[in-house]
Amino acid sequence: MNTTALEYIVFFAASLMMLGGAVGVVLFRNPVHAALGLVLTLFGVAVHFVAQEAHFLAAVQVIVYAGAIVVLFLFVIMLLGVDKAVDLTIEPIPIQRPLAAVMTVGLVGLITAAVVKAGDAIGTLNPGLGIDVAGDIGRDGQVVSSDGNIQQLARNLYNDHVLAFQLTSVLLIVAVAGTVLLTRKWPKQGAAA
């Protein structure tokens, strides 16, 4: 399958958004600006998801991440009043920035090297998991599935990973309950909040 120019442009635009947002998160002095950078990154990732025909995930990404989590971030920032610009030049640990730089460069470099070397072992992209592609030829030359992405995902989730699913729901409840307890302001009887 040949890639069309559009796909190219989509790929690079999405990557640009993603990486640009990330850089923004790291470099903006105001936490609110950083949160906005995060939103940009999340959108970029969502576009990548769509490009790989993981439509459901793209939707969920936007709704949950960008819609809920980042909003939560902004709420907390506003609540605590830390929405002032911070001085980024202060660094009490002198070795920290070189350390971080070394680590980042090493990590990215090594992964890139490994991935590039692996090359063909990773396989080619064969989007047979999208919505409108009933009868698409999969990796082995056979028809992958006639279901759409959501159906496949649902089938996999509720058949093979039902236990994990249930546990995750418990996790959510516990998280919420725990957080409410954590942040509650106790009546003043000597107990700390």
- Measure the CA–CA gap between 106 and 114, rounded to whole angstroms: 12
Structure tokens at 27: 């470099």
Nearer to another protein, 98 or 189 (CB): 98
Hey, how many other C-beta atoms are within 10 angstroms of the C-beta on 189? 5
Q: How far is the CB of 173 from another protein (least distance, A)?
A: 9
Nearer to another protein, 40 or 189 (CB): 40
Q: How far is the CB of 164 from another protein (least distance, A)?
A: 6
Sign of the torsion formed by the C-alpha atoms of 96, 97, 102 and 103: positive
- Measure the CA–CA gap between 140 and 153, rounded to whole angstroms: 21
Q: How far is the CB of 131 from another protein (least distance, A)?
A: 13
Q: How many residues does the chain have?
A: 193
Q: How far is the CB of 191 from another protein (least distance, A)?
A: 13
Nearer to another protein, 181 or 189 (CB): 181
Nearer to another protein, 114 or 189 (CB): 114
